[in-house]
Structure 1
């Protein structure tokens, strides 16, 4: 029945996208499309989705339009030790038991006790499992701490975070190796004219990158919380890919790394924790010494040595320290960066996935270590 609902909804969305009266459409317009019964709650939400995507994203055709529900047409309940979500279907409103991970259950409990408000939800299938992704809205109390942490992104080290005398490093070596392996595999498949396989590899690599960025961003925000940080500062990424030009360095395979995605994840996770995010002008953050002397020759790869006072430090760490101090001044938030947490998905089958604790990817150092 879910598959049938998706097929009908997709066909309706494509029909609606070319309708001349789209902007005036209401749930009654579905009768012009089909005489079969279909939940008006889904029809109304599909109209909203189509209006938005055709206007802002210029979408002309939908490959698959999953069934969405507004905040008034789905409900979560707890029965004993498990949860159910209910929503309208082709026949009647039903409640389906859902599998949740620990952090998802915590949010569902907050929905039930009213400390967060529910928004729209989407039912979709991915890799033979059905998921119900929900959006929530809640107030975050800003942290009172004023301590600032700087995060420097780059190619040799994907991210370096610095607060006080402590720092957190994320090396690029392993990521660069995986990127080179994917690139070599795409070349082989391309020479063999297996274009479909090339696209699948690209999708797989993108999912892997997204997973790594999620783990890095989570560890950075946890590091900030553990060290009493109230403000995370990051630089705008203009020119980040020009920082490494040698074909020999490990970072060369990271030129297409999703740095913008990583910043977005750090930003929304920080805001959810009550940590303010500020954006810093990146000018001279990698060339300036703590004594104030600024010179391009101060930096040589990952080594920083001031030509005036002789101060030495890891170059990316120096950049993170300068970003925390905002030595080049604060800038406006990048217009392309959209913050806001993604939906919380719970899947509709009895197979759990165990512990959701991310593996440790970073190395914590004190200033002298």
Structure 2
């Protein structure tokens, strides 16, 4: 019987000063243990245990580290450096749920502090995931790893849950999928799983899709790679200015080529990982924003215009397309209007108080603040799901003659055009999908 895995989202409700301090102590001890084990290049669980055993953490957190660190150090992740802020991970038995439906706050979570001390804290849950939470509480769903994280003073807990689902026959799937003009069942809509792909400057790429109940599934952000590319572009422009002042044009060209080759390497790897993400989803379609005229339509002021005109939207689009085509994964585009401004839950236009934060303006919406790039990726996927899609023939007929930097032509990255390029945008993530 097939299985479905989902991340359940809980927002902890105003821990008192004592519990807040304990949560902070747990986070600090976990991150110190993680950094120490990573610096020691622990490639086995035994080596990791030798490091983390000294830290004041629960066995659930230490066991999660023993599984995670070897993946970072030459394993499946093979990471060169750590993120600035890792969530605290617990193995499957570390976190417990309690349900009090008679109370105004129905859900309570037990979070381990260390082996002989834990915290019970009330929590708000995503209402779309109520049936899953109740199944976890009843023991009908297998609980996996949990993650504790804090963003802008608010604590969140993510719980991985897996349940068996009945396999649906091809006949029943066809019966509920409207036919296309040829009379054959259409692969769009219900049969396809749209994966929204948000390309940006802060997080280089963000992908996310929804499950059958509409909840976001496995959002993935390439934020560190966005930071790397911004740093390389800034280094390129600063060095270029200095070398030009010295009249070293040949050195400038050689140095710039080396840096842009490094950026190209990042782009190749990230786009390959995007397609690998899509391969892990059943019957996927990658959905991009139609950015054919992004440069003509951008008007964020002289400074940001020059900065974004040097950004490699076209190359990212083109590489995702051809890598997806090699794997037989379709790619579609949708209208990009307001995908970063609308709330994925209620559709209301919100605001972006920070680069990585979306704030919903609807007081009745359960979303208050959310990770902005994940919100945008879900909006992109939803536009395909609603039936909007620009096919290749339509895009080609709309392209301008001589346009060599559209979203579909695979133009190469261009150098930054502004002396103040790449001032670091804040990489603060909010909302129940931040990770």
Query: Greater Rg, structure 1 or structure 2?
Result: 1
TM bracket (short chain): 0.3 to 0.5
| TM-score normalized with structure 2 length | 0.41
TM-score by length of 1: 0.48
Greater relative CO (CA pairs within 8 A, separation 6+): 1
